[in-house]
Each structure stands twice: as structure tokens, then as C-alpha cells.
Structure 1
Amino acid sequence: MSLPLLPDRQCGGCVECCRVIPLSLPELSKPTGQLCAYCVDGAGCSVHAIRPQTCRTWFCLWRVIELSDDWRPDRSGVVVRPDGIEDGVITLFVVRRSEFLASEELFAVVAGWLAEGVEVALSVPGPVGTYPARAVVSDWLRPAVEAGDPDDFTRRVLLSLDKLEQHDWQPDGIEPRYAVTG
């Protein structure tokens, strides 16, 4: 999927998608949760000019929709995944817990999405080489949102993450292969 990007918004040193997204392409294959061998942590892609098409077109929603810089995945610990956006679902892939999860901004943005009828899912990574766990949590979060209670919202988010982290992790079966050539 290729969504129009916001002008003047760059990944910078954020490489979370290069770590969390599994790839199984002829020229590049890496398991879920493993940093791509072409990626320089905190700097970006070392083969950027000749990277695969998938890497050219996949962007987290921080690059696509108006979210503050606090939402940038390397700052927030949350990759806002674009998959499902056409079906009205936004997935917050929590790659690491941070203070952002208890922020007024997260509460306000998710409340806005729910008010617009957007479904919200939470997802967490498992061990390297396993599929992440994911669940739609709109109905679970809605009472806290409707009550205007950010503390209850945070409690519900954290309980959801605790439950997801108890998932029975399934291997993704992807063997690393690096053959990008220019």
C-alpha cells in the first residue's frame, strides 16, 4: 500500500519499521523483530537508493497523517500501522512501553478516532521470528474515552498489552536472506 506522505516529514533516525516488519522478498528476507542487516540503527538504510519496492512504499501512519513528533515511533515506542486503514482500523503496534502510553495526546487522538468510527487495535511483538499479537480494543477503551477519563484509558491500554504479551507466539518461518544489488 502506498499512501501520500506529509511534506517535510522524514523518518530521520527512526528505524522501527526496519526492525518490526517481516519481509519475505526475493532480494530481502528477514524475520519479524530482527533489524534489517542493511539498516544502521539510529541512522537508516545503507542501501536506501536501491532498496526493494516494498521498503519504498511502506510507511507508518506518522508519515501520513497529522500526528505530533511525539508519535514518531522511535520516540513513542508505537508504530502506527497503515494496514487496515482502508477498512477503518488503525493498529497501534507497541514495540516498547514508554511514557507516551499515558500521555494526554494518545488519549485525545484515540478518542478522536473512536468518535469518527475508526476501530483501534493494539499489537505487541513477540520474540524475534514470531508473528505479533493483535486485538481490536475499541469497545474495551470506549468507556474510558466516553467518561473523559485518561487514567482509566491508560489502565485499559496497559491491561490490554499485558494480555497480548501472554500470547501463544507462532513462528513466522522467515529465514534471513540479503541479496539487494544495485
Structure 2
Amino acid sequence: MGVTALDKPAGKRCGHFSKSAGCAIYDDRPGDCRVFNCLWLLTEALDESWKPAIAGFVLHSERHGARLVVECDTARPHDWRREPYQATLRRWAAAPGQEVLVFAGSRGLRLGEPDAAVRRV
């Protein structure tokens, strides 16, 4: 996601993040970062396999839960297609009133019949 306070655009890895150490400014991170929680942390129905480091993506919602956004690690843009992820995401996308967007950087897909290409604005 984008972080305005750090001038970090959506779809780009944060300059304060390293795979080996995590967030280098964690104790002093801006409010945008402090209030964000991946849905994996907030949803008991998602087991350990949905942890971002394992799944290769972060989940968050918009529009009061009517839109689920899958933010893929750009080094692992297709991990969402592995199971159980793809089947679950497609089942959620088929639910009435639910939209599921999968992004790797600025390019993405709106899951549905058929899938539709989308770009982040």
C-alpha cells in the first residue's frame, strides 16, 4: 500500500523494510503504518498459511468490507494462484456485493467471470 507520510507509492517496497529484519523504523513508524493490520491478523478463519510471509501477499479491505484487496509481493506476483488461495479468493469474489482485486504493483485483476484487468490509479 502507499504510505503518504513516507512518500511511498502503492506497489513499491518500502525503503525501510528488509526481509531479514523487517521494518527498520517500526518504533517510530508513521500513523498510516500503525493503523494498518493485514486481514490475516484480524480474521480467525484465516490460518497460518495466510500469513503474508507464507502466502506472498497482504489482504486488506476497502469500502467497508465490500472490496477485498490482495497486495502481492512483486517478487511473487502469482502466489495468489496457489491453493488454497485462488479457490478461496474466487469464492469470495462470487459472493453478492463483494469485489476482489489482486494487485502486483500497479497492475491487477478484478476476479470474476471473466476476470478483468485493472490498473491502480
State if a TM-score over 0.5 links the two structures. Answer: yes
Structure holding more helix per residue: 1
Equivalent position of 1:111 in the other structure: 91
Greater Cα radius of gyration, structure 1 or 2: 1
1:80 CA drift (Å) = 1.4
1:64 CA drift (Å) = 1.6
Q: Which runs of 5+ in 2 are unaligned?
A: none
Question: Cα 1:47–1:87, aligned 2, differ >3 Å: closer, same or farther?
Answer: closer
1:51 CA drift (Å) = 1.3
Equivalent position of 2:18 in the other structure: 40
Within 5 A, what are the aligned runs for 1:120-159?
A: 120-125=100-105, 132-140=106-114
Using the size of structure 2 for normalisation, the TM-score is 0.70
Within 5 A, what are the aligned runs for 1:47-62?
A: 47-62=25-40
Provide the identity percentage: 21
Equivalent position of 2:82 in the other structure: 102
Using the size of structure 1 for normalisation, the TM-score is 0.51
SS in 2 for 1:103: coil
1:56 CA drift (Å) = 0.3
Moved over 6 A (4+): none
Question: Cα 1:42–1:64, aligned 2, differ >3 Å: closer, same or farther?
Answer: farther
Structure holding more strand per residue: 2
Equivalent position of 1:82 in the other structure: 61
Structure of higher RCO (CA pairs closer than 8 Å, 6+ residues apart): 1
The alignment's C-alpha RMSD in Å is 2.9
- Provide Cα deviations, 1:47-100, integer angstroms capped at 9, x if missing partner: 22221111100122112223122122222222212233x1511122333223x5
Q: Read off the aligned partner of 1:73 and give its amino acid letter.
A: P
Question: Cα 1:68–1:110, aligned 2, differ >3 Å: closer, same or farther?
Answer: farther
Equivalent position of 1:7 in the other structure: none
